[in-house]
Amino acid sequence: MFGLIVSLLWFMRIAEKSPIGLPGLKGPPLPALVINTTILLVILINMIVNWDYLEFVTESADGFENFSALARLILVSCLTLVPHLIAFKHRQIDWKVQPAGVTPQ
């Protein structure tokens, strides 16, 4: 899930709009993005380096005999991709921002 947050923050910085398409939202400052991206990379590198240990824990844990480290990686990827696809669908609507104090008729 942390990958989802970091990727959405980078999207906001690059596209200068919110994940659902509201214009003018640039997200957090660049140093915060760099720190979050660094943390994400450390977590992913740790997962890759400890891949064999994850396989061992998966085999020895009760109830997780069929849930391999690869299945975990696929699950994390889906947890990141699905919200992006939902936000992409919302961005296709092309939001119109109302001025403050004006209600639609």
The 10s digit of each residue's pLDDT in 89-101 is 777 766 666 666 6
pLDDT of residue 58: 55
Which is nearest to 4 in space by CA: 82, 90, 75?
82
Cα–Cα distances (Å) from 3 to 11, 40, 58, 67, in that order, read 12, 6, 22, 21
Tell whether 74 is covered by a domain.
Answer: yes
Which is nearest to 47 in space by CA: 84, 3, 81?
3
Banded pLDDT at 5 (limits 50, 70, 90): confident
Tell whether 75 is covered by a domain.
Answer: yes
Domain containing residue 58 = 2-91
pLDDT of residue 10: 86
Tell whether 72 is covered by a domain.
Answer: yes
Tell whether 99 is covered by a domain.
Answer: no
Query: pLDDT of 16-72, one tens digit each?
Result: 888 777 778 888 888 888 988 898 888 888 877 877 776 666 555 556 566 677 777
Q: What is the total count of domains within the chain?
A: 1
Contact 23, 16 (CB under 8 A): yes
